[in-house]
Amino acid sequence: MDYLGLVILVVGLWILQFIFTFFQSQAMTKRFVDVKNNNVGNHLGIGLTRAKFNAGRGVIVIVVTDINGIVRDFQALSGYSVMARFKQLKKFIGMSAKDVESQITDKRLLKTFQQAIEKINEERVNNGFTKIELINN
């Protein structure tokens, strides 16, 4: 039957996706650890926005701010497949969180950035610092 070839193809693609997902997960973990180790003394937040029904682009951001709330590192992973990798968005480095928020035009990236700042604010409050204010809070 011709269905055997189709079944083998589907199973093969499924296994290939699993392998690529594993490697992407390893790369993301390494990036998180590298960013954390390179920014000791600063505040780190991670935001995640998933696509509905896994159809569309997901976004993950890593944001690092200093004690004054200035963005020291901003990296985003955005894509449709497991081949996507983090890219540093240098245009936002050195800006306040409010300025970054006002300049982001992509809705998913904005939502994800706000989630990362919420995580940073949780860390700041736990360490006795004031929260970073955003425009849309």
Residue 36 lies in a domain: yes
Residue 132 lies in a domain: no
Q: What is the pLDDT of residues 54-92, one digit of tens each?
A: 666 788 899 999 988 899 999 998 877 666 788 889 999
Point out the least confidently predicted range of 91-95, 97-101, 127-131.
127-131
| CA–CA dist 63, 43 (Å, integer) | 8
Residue 137 lies in a domain: no
Number of domains within the chain: 1
| CA–CA dist 87, 68 (Å, integer) | 24
Residue 109 lies in a domain: yes
Residue 133 lies in a domain: no
| CA–CA dist 127, 48 (Å, integer) | 24
Tell me the CATH number at 107.
3.90.1010
Residue 135 lies in a domain: no
Q: Domain range holding 65? A: 3-126
Residue 131 lies in a domain: no
